């Protein structure tokens, strides 16, 4: 598995799964665009990627807003000339019974887990479709297909189901145009 000469953009890359994805892609030879909101974490991950001998660029912002999502993609293209891989990893969850979830909490989870996935896929996807190649991996969850116990997380479950079906829709549309769109649905990590 060799990604030499490729550029991967990872959202939510400052910790957890996103950090691990960024490392794995860099170890395979990709240069990395680090997206997130934590400046200190982003700089730490950038240093780790560079220690692996790869190039990295950081762009911070709120990708639930179109202008921030566009700026993240633009930063990667400006730094490296292309985006070959998008890992849509940023996510949010509220662990609370449904009768206690506020409208604000519901919107926050949907905004990060569905709207940001849509914006990043649409913006990076336009670049990839124009080039006739690319790969988008949306990080969904097993919670998009089952209800995990013991915690209650209705907004998270619904958002991950939506992101999974969005993945199917984009895959059907963009596959013939040279852009693969897949979902990865991890369990507890």
Instruction: Please state, in angstroms and as integers, the Cα–Cα distance from residue 177 to each residue in 130, 133, 134, 170, following that order.
Output: 9, 7, 9, 11
- The answer to whether the beta carbons of residues 69 and 116 sit under 8 Å apart is yes
Q: How far apart are CA 163 and CA 169, in angstroms?
A: 10
Q: Read off the tokens for 29.
A: 């030879």
Instruction: Tell me which residue of 164, 170, 169, 161 sits closest to 183, measured CA to CA.
Output: 164
Active-site residue among 156, 166, 167, 179? 156
In terms of DSSP H, where are the helices of 37-81?
39-51, 66-80
188 catalytic residue (yes or no): no
- The answer to whether the beta carbons of residues 83 and 127 sit under 8 Å apart is yes
Name the one residue in this structure whose structure tokens are 């790969």.
135
| Residues annotated catalytic, as ranges | 156
């Amino acid at each position: 598995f060799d990604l030499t000469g490729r550029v991967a953009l990872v959202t939510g890359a400052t910790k957890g799964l996103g950090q691990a994805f960024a490392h794995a892609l860099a170890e395979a030879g990709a240069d990395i665009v680090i997206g997130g909101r934590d400046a200190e974490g982003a700089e730490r991950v950038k240093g780790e990627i560079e220690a692996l001998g790869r190039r990295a660029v950081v762009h911070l912002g709120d990708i639930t807003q179109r202008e921030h999502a566009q700026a993240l993609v633009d930063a990667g293209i400006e730094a490296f000339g292309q985006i070959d891989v998008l890992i849509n990893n940023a996510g949010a969850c509220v662990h609370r019974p449904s009768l206690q979830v506020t409208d604000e909490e519901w919107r926050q989870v949907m905004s990060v887990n569905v709207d940001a996935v849509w914006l990043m896929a649409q913006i990076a996807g336009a670049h990839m479709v124009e080039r006739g190649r690319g790969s988008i991996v949306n990080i969904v969850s097993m919670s998009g297909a089952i209800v995990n116990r013991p915690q209650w997380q209705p907004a998270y479950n619904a958002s991950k189901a939506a992101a999974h079906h969005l993945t199917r829709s984009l895959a059907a549309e963009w596959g013939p145009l040279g852009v693969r769109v897949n979902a990865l649905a991890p369990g507890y990590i």
